[in-house]
Amino acid sequence: MAKPTDALQRLRRVHEDAVLDALRSSGALSRTELINRTGLSRTTLFAIISEMVERGAVVEIEAPVSGARGRGRPATLVALSPEAGQLIGLDLARHRVHLAVANVSHQIIATGMEDVPEGAGVTEQAEAAVRLIRRVIEERGVRLGALEAIGLGLVGVMDDPVLPAGIVPARYTPVTELLEREFGVRVAVDNNARLAALAENTWGAARSVDDMVYVRWSVGVGGGFIVGGRLVRGAHGAAGEIGHVSLDPAGPPCHCGSRGCLERRIGGRALLESCAARGILLAGLDALVAAAQDRVPEVCELISAAAADLGRILADTVVQLDPERVVVGGEFASLGSLVLGPIRAAIARLSLPNSPRAIEVIPADLGANASAMGAIALLLHEEPAIPAHLRPARD
């Protein structure tokens, strides 16, 4: 029979784990927020925090000030110790590798980017990722002695989001193997558009929203869904592939094997082809966006029509998922009302128009680093990112 003290110790460990998990998934929180999230009493929570501060597992920080500071002591938040560990997030986009480095207190301490030549293979992408990490940590003076894990955003369907237990698509194994060999840590992978959704939900335009739809409109079209506060992957790792909804079964073939897909109609490459057919020759996606910002009439007309197509697909998604917020990311989101206007109009017209609900459609906050940051959020939310020496001892 267990001694009463053993039972109390086990209960304390359960309580401490609840606090650590809340801080890992949400970042710094006030004591009141921790009470609400963990269900612990005020007395129990305060005692646990005091013990964890003494042990160095958590730290107290001053809450950010919004507006004029009133009288009295500034509010304090509780956060995981910044020394507890480091996490690396990588996004292997089609032409660039993006990097973010964070600690487990949710602080992004370094970012970087490296171009990858058109048509580069996965081995070249992997080598570029390693070079980028080495360069950024040297330039920023970051020491990786406390590196816990690497999160990796990839293009395409993920068969299983976690390595080594899962299976990453074979074409990407050189990337994961090189990262594991070079840095000696585990690698977790997921689709990069889904990771951008997770980043916006953690740090960006949909912070703390429990139900959201994210779409990234760039060279391709991808998406991600947060439902009930959790990222949706689906049974086969294909959730969020908005770009591969077919608009026209008799349309042009898509690389996914279907025909007439949304991405094949409104993706960056498709719009550049449409511009060229109208005699408007543009060097690439950046030039296309710049032409729209300069209000070139035919370019604006094409992009507005494409946004309406995207809005129709999003309207169907909104009917099925009933999100609080739709977040639009990628290069086209920078065009503001030219893109957001048609999307909002389509959702209002086609998604239960007689319903009194209000669904926000807003641009993303995090820009090009979103997927790399999302790869870190993947580790913070869903992987044990707290070093063993900072967790309570297991008696």
Q: Which two tokens stand for residue 128?
A: 């570029």
Amino acid at 312: R
> CB-based contacts of 287: which residues, under 8 Å, 6+ apart?
none
What pLDDT is stored for residue 387 in this prediction?
A: 41
d(CA 83, CA 103): 7
Evaluate whether the domain defined by 84-195+373-390 bears CATH number 3.30.420.40: yes
d(CA 370, CA 192): 9
Taking phi first (over 0 means left), then psi (-120 to 50 degrees means alpha), and beta for anything else, what does residue 240 get?
Answer: left
The HSE-up count of residue 213 (CA atoms within 13 Å, CB side) is 25
Evaluate whether the domain defined by 4-62+72-80 bears CATH number 1.10.260.30: no
Name the residue among 83, 91, 29, 33 with its Cα closest to residue 378: 91
What pLDDT is stored for residue 321 in this prediction?
A: 95
What pLDDT is stored for residue 83 in this prediction?
A: 66
- Determine the CATH number of domain 206-364: 3.30.420.40
What pLDDT is stored for residue 76 in this prediction?
A: 86
d(CA 205, CA 326): 9
Distances in Å between the alpha carbon of 313 and those of 14, 206, 213, 247?
44, 20, 12, 9
What pLDDT is stored for residue 159 in this prediction?
A: 57
Cβ neighbourhood burial of 242 (10 Å; 0-12, 13-18, 19+):
buried
Q: Which two tokens stand for residue 196?
A: 């951008």
DSSP 8-state secondary structure symbol assigned to residue 79: E
Tens place of pLDDT per residue across the chain (395 aa): 444 456 777 788 788 878 877 887 777 889 999 999 999 999 999 998 998 888 777 788 887 765 554 555 667 898 877 666 789 999 998 788 999 998 766 778 889 999 988 777 888 888 999 999 999 988 887 777 678 899 999 887 765 544 443 456 677 788 888 999 999 998 999 999 999 999 999 889 998 799 999 999 999 999 999 999 999 988 888 899 999 999 999 999 998 899 999 999 999 999 999 999 999 999 999 999 999 999 999 999 999 999 999 999 999 999 999 999 999 999 999 999 999 999 999 999 999 988 888 899 999 999 989 999 999 999 887 644 444 433 333 33
- Same fold? 4-62+72-80, 84-195+373-390: no
Question: Domain-by-domain residue ranges, the chain?
Answer: 4-62+72-80, 84-195+373-390, 206-364
3-state secondary structure 184-195: CCEEEEEEHHHH
Q: Which two tokens stand for residue 143?
A: 């020491």
What pLDDT is stored for residue 129 in this prediction?
A: 93
> CB-based contacts of 118: which residues, under 8 Å, 6+ apart?
95
